[in-house]
Homo-oligomer: A and B are copies of this chain.
Amino acid sequence: MGNVEKKLNDMGLKLPEKPPAAGNYVGAVQSGNLLFVSGHGPVLIENGKVNYMRGKVGKDLTIEQGQEAARLVGLHILRSIKEVIGDLDRVSKFVKVLGFVNTAPGFTDQPKVINGASDLFVALYGDAGRHARSAIGMYELPFGIPVEIEAVVEVKD
């Protein structure tokens, strides 16, 4: 187990189980040193059953619950990264995060919600985890999930 995954375990977290694909795409694709990671959602497999977190932040979910969802999404992003490059220690840098928040009317705290994932990346990678980012308020998201996040990371040779 690499250093990043050890740190993850020390934080009391672990990589979640992989859910079935939602469409005709893969978790991440590498080109050169850049790894483009798909939009992921907050999903847990419990007793073989796929459970999506659902709802709109600002109505069905509080900011704090949205942040929890975003942190779970961050763990799925790490899972997909590991699946493609084999070891989370091979990430040299988080480059870009794009966070989609399923938003109740008038809710404008998308940045706080997406911090749930950003804080995780920075906790694990330090300065190399500090990324460029956009956070935006969506009308609807697949399966009614509250948060979807995609990312671009740089991979060591």
A residues contacting B by CB (< 8 A) are 22-29, 31-34, 36-39, 93-98, 100, 103, 105-112, 114-115, 118-119, 122, 130-144, 148, 150, 152, 154
Contact A137 B141 (CB under 8 A): yes
Given the complex, which residues of B lie within 8 Å of A31, measured CB to CB? 33-34, 93, 95, 152, 154
Q: List 21 A-B contacts (CB under 8 A).
A: A22-B111, A25-B118, A25-B133, A26-B132, A28-B132, A29-B93, A29-B96, A32-B34, A38-B133, A39-B134, A103-B140, A108-B141, A109-B142, A110-B142, A132-B150, A134-B148, A135-B142, A136-B141, A136-B148, A137-B141, A137-B142
Given the complex, which residues of B lie within 8 Å of A139, measured CB to CB? 103, 105, 137-139
Contact B39 A135 (CB under 8 A): yes
On whether A122 and B24 interact (CB within 8 A), knowing A39-B134, A137-B140, the answer reads: yes
* CA distance in complex: A137, B140 (Å): 5
Q: A25-B131, A31-B34 are in contact. List 15 more A-B contacts (CB 8 A).
A: A22-B135, A24-B119, A24-B130, A26-B130, A26-B132, A29-B93, A31-B95, A31-B154, A36-B132, A37-B132, A103-B140, A108-B141, A132-B150, A136-B138, A136-B141
